A and B are shown apart, each in its own frame.
Chain A
Amino acid sequence: MKKVLTGNQAVAYGAMLSDVKVVAAYPITPQTTIIETLADMQAEGIGDFDYIRVESEHSALSVCIGASMGGVRAFTATSGQGLFLMHEMLHYATGARVPVVLANVNRAPALPWNIWSDQTDSISQRDTGCIQLYCEGNQEVLDTTIMAFKIAETVRLPAMVILDAFWLSHTSEPVDIPEKEAVQKFLPSFDPGDMWLDPENPRTFGSVSMSDVYMEFRWLIQRDMERAKGVISETHTEFGNLFGRNYHQVEGYLTDDAEVVIVCSGTVASTGRVAVEVLRSEGKKAGMLKVKTLRPFPSDEVKNALRDKEKVAVIDRNFSPGAQGVWAQEIRSALYELADSERPLLYGYIAGLGGRDINIGTIRDIYERTSQSETPEDADIWVGVKYV
């Protein structure tokens, strides 16, 4: 059934259709309407889950971890400062190997206060061991929420569905809502195997591990995060076969003969498609590469997509102070493995922080600047900043 939904409603539908059993959350703009929608669904009996109100985001994720250890599917949602408060428990969720799914609506970090879109909040969770999936439209948001449970449960790691503040969270557009029966076929009930708090079979989880075994636990996380790359691709394929909508960790658009490939994530990829069409209509050889996953990072796909290209321009709606945009860093690392003769020049651009618009003109400027330059500058270029 097609309906006009906001991105936040799409998340709520995704979680409800995934048959979550526990939702624990604390409100924060611009996420709040996700958990409001879920609260309505629970109150109206559309969703059969416990809705647990907590006093902080730290507690919200803690409750989800407990629920997941209890053997049921658990979900939460947050944004910006709320995600920062969850940070400790996100590491914990990975260590506990609980497949909790959370939605994060990208919101800029304070100070100064800003509720608008900026990836720095989710990017800051890069090293927690949480899978990160960035979405470009409300349909992808709904579909990815469902797929996130499957991916997380297959590799037993937490997963984060990420959507831009307002550009998706509060934007209404048509979304195809799958039938619950079809979703259940794709995503059967959560099976925790023998790793859950079973009163009939008492065991200890999360005890101290000394230096002689700690590293082995961490290695298992790395092994399964690497495995997640294949699992994400398989999940995308299976979802595509069942529902007719295809997603990829890395997706090229008009890249075949492109002289400049612009790398985008989130909603910038959506606008990026239109921007490269406009540039093409002017006879300019522009292409767009959308990267959906930050963790695990699909380095092989990125490498293959960009091999032998002349120039790559990476748009980062985030930055790591003292270093550079994080997508640019990741892509630069992936390209290092290429031979000198097949490695493109890489240009990093910081744009759209705190919700500043990244429009077709912005992308055109990035294309022109990259196209006209012979060698990249030492540091990322901050697009449109008044001091520069």
Chain B
Amino acid sequence: MIEIRFHGRGGQGAVVASKLLAHAVFLDGKYCQSFPAFGVERRGAPVTAFLRVDDRPVRVRTQIYAPDHIVILDPLLVDQVPLTKGLKPGGTVILNSSKSAVEFKSFFKGFRIATVPAAEIAIRYHLGSPRFPIVNTAILGAVARALGIVPIESLVKAIKIGVPAHAEDNAEAAREAYRAVNDE
């Protein structure tokens, strides 16, 4: 079983990201379970969402304490939230940032790092506003690439079915992010 934790801010689409990725792995024949951290949602406040992926039905229905990977939608959370709490040694950190992965090496010591300029890509595809881009579909493209848990075509299909608007732009943003991943 693979356990992934998403960190974002209310309005960035972290919860939807976990659902879309769940749908994508499901289309690929796997079992999934996605859920938000059950808080009281507010725009801009730190938000967490979770995903379990397995080859058989997921029966454990508890929080994820030791994720295999984490996905960070807002790089500014780095100073505010204990992002790597419980992250398994050697686990992957996927980060929305225009910087290269190597620049985060000392910060995320002991983990694999992949970065993707998800905000730039989202803005280019007019997802959200330039001040507050919705980066979830772009970051998922990077997740597909960095973790190899789902083919990009399954992800694109899940995005086209699952996003409430701008299906094509969201799908293209994911494809572009898939190509733009930088890892060490």
Contacts and interface: CB of A to CB of B under 8 A. Distances in A.
B178 interface: no
A143 to B, nearest CB: 14
B38 A174 contact: no
Nearest to B18: A172
Interface in B62-93: 62-63, 65
A254 interface: no
Interface stretch (A55-63, A178-186, A266-274, A307-315): A266-274
Interface in B26-45: 26, 31-36, 38, 40
Interface stretch (B53-61, B113-121, B145-153): B53-61
A85 to B, nearest CB: 22
A171 B60 contact: no
A166 interface: yes
Contacts of A270: 59-61
A172 B61 contact: no
A271 B57 CA distance: 12
27 contacts: A4-B23, A4-B26, A115-B40, A137-B57, A164-B61, A165-B38, A166-B35, A166-B38, A167-B35, A168-B61, A170-B36, A170-B38, A171-B33, A171-B35, A171-B61, A172-B22, A172-B34, A173-B31, A173-B33, A173-B57, A270-B60, A271-B59, A271-B60, A271-B61, A273-B59, A274-B59, A359-B63
Interface of B: 19, 22-23, 26, 31-36, 38, 40, 57-63, 65
Given A166-B36, A357-B62, 9 more contacts: A2-B26, A172-B23, A172-B34, A172-B35, A173-B57, A174-B32, A271-B62, A273-B59, A357-B63
**Top 5 A-B pairs ranked by shortest CB distance?**
A359-B62, A171-B35, A166-B38, A267-B61, A172-B34
Interface of A: 2, 4, 115-116, 136-137, 164-168, 170-174, 267, 270-271, 273-274, 355, 357-360
